[in-house]
């Protein structure tokens, strides 16, 4: 009897709570429907950020977001002179903070998984080819051999310290860091109880929840442009719910010499900028850093190898929802995996 009463009272309590939840949800929904999203814009990681979120309390979280992104740049950016990464590369320290430990650990895993297509040891190669903060120059074969030696020397970590076989090996997290910064901003919004948002740091996008009117967030994927000055045009749009999408392209960041366009992505095997028909890759994944890293890996592989990789790793990370835009004899073509095409907004 006692048990029955106890159970019954628990049931009442639960039902009561449920009704309260329903009522407050209805109230919130009513309030949210009239609500405009908060929109924040700024700069981080050498690029822009654009963040939208719905918050019934209309809190301005820009100061918190800016300080998170500043701390991030102070750790992993190659554009900030005194960043920890710049100091590590210069041999001034080998100790890793939380951000670099995360990036290093996961980068080593992706390097292995992609058979070295994604490789953070390209630091000096990137600087030499001129896509980072130094002047561009085409290395002669002796210089290239030296750079490749540094880029192929072993790196690992132990007890939050970077271990380098060669002091010439410099790390470059640019192909994964923006994605991870987006993840961290998303986590900050989660901690503040924001359930509907779209975070975009330089094209590395994360969405959470639905908008208050019940519609999903939509993200446009840019058509590869003629050159870096062209106005962006949307090639396709996808719905994105509780996921990330990242696009890497060879059409905005490149340099041209003697009529040849050099991409800012380096093939770690040859030490040279990749040159093939693949114009852009988009990857949808749960974590933004993973989508970011896999996009770069596919850009290195090129269309055919990337498609073989996807076929060979049906359950592997970064292979289910992928979209390629490529050039076929002067015509723009596209290929998307089934899971990606299911996200495309029907016109
Ligand atoms: P974006 O988002 O700007 O298209 P990515 O995410 O592909 O760029 O990152 C490109 C940057 O990553 C380059 O500018 C360089 O700093 C670095 N990088 C170049 N080649 C590689 C590579 N094979 N693996 C990892 N990082 C690379
Ligand atoms: Mg990337």
Segment 273-323, tens digit of pLDDT: 998 889 999 999 999 999 999 999 999 999 999 999 999 999 999 999 999
CA within 13 Å, CB half, 167: 6
Q: List ligand 1's pocket residues with C-beta within 6 A.
A: 118-120, 122, 126, 131-132, 172, 174-175, 203, 248-249, 253, 264-266, 268, 292, 295-296, 299-300
Residue-level pLDDT at 322: 98
Residue-level pLDDT at 347: 76
Helix (H, G, I), strand (E, B) or coil at 151: helix
Question: What number of other Cβ atoms are within 10 A of residue 35's Cβ?
Answer: 17
- pLDDT tens digits for range 21-70: 333 444 444 444 457 999 999 998 788 999 999 999 999 999 999 999 99
Q: Which atom of ligand 1 is nearest to the CA of 266?
A: 20
Angstrom distance (rounded) from CA 144 to CA 271: 7
Residue-level pLDDT at 297: 98
171-175, 224-228, 238-242, 267-271: the lowest-pLDDT one: 224-228
> Which ligand is in closest contact with the Cα of 173?
1
Total-model pTM: 0.88
Angstrom distance (rounded) from CA 286 to CA 5: 45
**Average pLDDT of the residues of the chain:** 87
Angstrom distance (rounded) from CA 180 to CA 170: 20
DSSP string for 61-91: -HHHHHHHHHHHHHHH-SSSTT-HHHHHHTT
Question: How many Å lie between the centroid of ligand 2 and the Cα of residue 173?
Answer: 9
């Amino acid at each position: 009897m006692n048990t029955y009463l106890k159970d019954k009272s628990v049931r009442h309590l639960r039902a009561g709570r449920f009704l309260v939840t329903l009522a407050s949800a209805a109230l919130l929904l009513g309030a949210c429907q009239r609500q405009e999203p908060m929109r924040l814009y700024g700069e981080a990681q050498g690029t822009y950020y654009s963040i939208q979120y719905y918050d019934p309390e209309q809190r301005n979280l820009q100061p918190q977001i800016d300080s998170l992104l500043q701390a991030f740049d102070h750790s992993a950016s190659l554009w900030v002179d005194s960043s920890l990464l710049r100091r590590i590369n210069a041999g001034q320290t080998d100790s890793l903070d939380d951000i670099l430990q995360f990036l290093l650990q996961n980068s080593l895993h992706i390097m292995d998984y992609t058979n070295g297509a994604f490789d953070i040891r390209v630091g000096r190669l990137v600087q030499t080819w001129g896509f980072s903060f130094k002047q561009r120059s085409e290395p002669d074969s002796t210089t290239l051999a030296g750079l490749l030696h540094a880029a192929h020397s072993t790196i690992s970590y132990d007890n939050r310290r970077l271990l380098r076989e060669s002091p010439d090996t410099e790390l470059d997290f640019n192909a994964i860091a923006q994605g991870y910064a987006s993840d961290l901003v998303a986590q900050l919004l989660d901690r503040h109880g924001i359930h509907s948002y779209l975070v975009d740091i330089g094209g590395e996008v994360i969405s959470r929840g639905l908008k208050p009117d019940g519609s999903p967030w939509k993200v446009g994927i840019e058509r590869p442009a003629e050159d870096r000055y062209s106005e962006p045009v949307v090639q396709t749009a996808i719905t994105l719910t509780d996921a990330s999408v990242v696009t890497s392209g060879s059409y905005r960041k490149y340099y041209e010499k003697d009529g040849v366009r050099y991409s800012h992505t380096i093939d770690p095997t040859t030490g040279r900028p990749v040159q093939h028909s693949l114009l852009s890759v988009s990857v949808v994944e749960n974590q933004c850093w993973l989508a970011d890293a896999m996009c770069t890996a596919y850009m290195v592989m090129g269309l055919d190898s990337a498609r073989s990789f996807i076929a060979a790793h049906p359950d592997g990370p970064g292979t289910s929802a992928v979209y390629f835009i490529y050039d076929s004899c002067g015509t723009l073509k596209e290929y998307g995996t089934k899971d990606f095409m299911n996200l495309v907004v029907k016109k």
